[in-house]
């Protein structure tokens, strides 16, 4: 990439503050940037690094007096930076169009135009692969599955039988979709397996992170709604219904038959019990354990999770507990002294 600040501003529809003729040849964060690199400031907590940056130019949401480099003012620097990387950054090297000779393709498989099937891929009988889909090496797609157009499955993904992916679904390496749900019945002192005969349906524009696991339904459907983004190492149990445009951050675990509304955010290491309802636009903060349903737009925290403000108040109280205990101990000593004096007929001291 060799482009001027003015060129970047025109591409993004931004406004230049400073030398628009500065030449840019790379992209980097504020602290790593060198002269000639374009950087960005989106999160205010990183503003402390702006005065010392060596970047050739910086994307900002508003003009800043403490920026030593030319500025490009845009509405959303984070999104603008992503657009630039997509356009000018390094491009992925996908498998070649067609079917690699080492791939194993079952009977009655339909593969759309422009699809790329990598080395060692296994596709089961009766599966349908959409146009321009990309399947990286050593991925296994079970029989009777459906993949929409422009799906991207990276290496070592497992998609079990009859599961369905919509259009433009991205699945990162090692993810498992359609594994058996964790269902057992105790009979005669032994855990007997409950058959898991449902499927997983992943709707359009979902991304599923590395080593995430989404279990097939016991019967019916485990559903991931359109536009939802799932981070690495997330567990979604059988018959869970995840709404549209949700965010499930790393190491989230959702127990069976829980329902998430639309635009729900589950921060890192959140655990949800089964058969709950999490309302639209609700947020569960990191490391919370949720045992009760959460209303729409609710914000909960802690384990067991409770209203965010109440949880914070309790946490503040806990931090003050040693001082409170010491104060109570002093008061108990004073009361004991007063009782002793009164009992002996002496006058209490003020």
Catalytic residue ranges:
238
Which contacts (CB < 8 Å, 24+ apart) does range 53-58 have? 55/28, 55/30, 56/5, 56/22, 56/23, 56/24, 57/5, 57/8, 57/18, 57/22, 57/24, 58/30
Distance of CA 221 to the CA centre of its chain: 22
Q: What DSSP element (H or E) covers 101?
A: none
As given in the structure block, the two tokens for residue 147 are: 């993949």
Only one residue has tokens 């403490």, namely: 66
- Closest Cα partner for 281 from 245, 234, 236? 245
Between CA 322 and CA 327, with CA 326 as vertex, the angle to 5 degrees is 115
Question: Following DSSP, what letter does each residue of 253-270 receive, concatenated?
Answer: EE-TT-EE-TT-EE-TT-
Cα 246 from Cα 255, distance rounded (Å): 16
Phi, psi of 79 (to 5 degrees): -65, -40
Q: Tell me the longest C-alpha to C-alpha distance in the chain.
A: 103
Distance of CA 175 to the CA centre of its chain: 14
- Closest Cα partner for 210 from 153, 149, 161? 153
């Amino acid at each position: 990439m060799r482009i001027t600040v003015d060129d970047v501003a025109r591409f993004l529809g931004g406004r230049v503050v400073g030398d628009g003729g500065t030449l840019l040849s790379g992209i980097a964060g504020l602290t790593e940037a060198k002269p000639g690199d374009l950087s960005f400031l989106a999160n205010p907590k990183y503003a402390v690094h702006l005065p010392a940056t060596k970047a050739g130019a910086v994307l900002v949401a508003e003009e800043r007096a403490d920026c030593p480099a030319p500025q490009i003012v845009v509405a959303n620097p984070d999104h603008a930076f992503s657009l630039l990387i997509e356009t000018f950054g390094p491009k992925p090297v996908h498998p070649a169009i067609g079917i690699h000779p080492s791939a194993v393709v079952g009977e009655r498989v339909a593969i759309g135009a422009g699809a790329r099937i990598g080395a060692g891929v296994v596709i089961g009988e009766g599966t349908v692969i959409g146009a321009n889909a990309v399947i990286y090496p050593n991925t296994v797609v079970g029989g009777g599955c459906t993949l929409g157009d422009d799906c991207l499955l990276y290496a070592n993904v497992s998609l079990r039988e009859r599961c369905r992916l919509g259009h433009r679904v991205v699945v990162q390496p090692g993810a498992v979709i359609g594994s058996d749900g964790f269902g057992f019945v105790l009979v005669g002192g032994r855990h007997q397996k409950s058959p898991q005969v449902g499927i997983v349906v992943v709707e359009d524009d979902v991304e599923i992170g590395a080593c995430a696991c989404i279990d097939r339904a016991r019967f019916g459907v485990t559903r991931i709604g359109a536009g939802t983004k799932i981070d690495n190492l997330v567990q979604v149990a059988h018959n869970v219904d995840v709404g549209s445009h949700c965010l499930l951050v790393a190491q989230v675990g959702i127990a069976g038959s829980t329902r998430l509304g639309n635009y729900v955010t589950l921060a890192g290491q959140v655990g949800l019990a089964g058969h709950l309802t999490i309302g639209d636009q609700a947020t569960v903060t990191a490391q919370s354990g949720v045992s009760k349903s959460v209303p729409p737009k609710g914000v909960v925290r802690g384990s067991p999770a409770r209203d965010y403000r109440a949880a914070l108040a309790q946490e503040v109280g806990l931090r003050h507990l040693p001082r409170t205990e010491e104060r109570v101990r002093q008061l108990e000593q004073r009361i004991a002294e007063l009782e002793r004096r009164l009992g002996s007929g002496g006058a209490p001291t003020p």
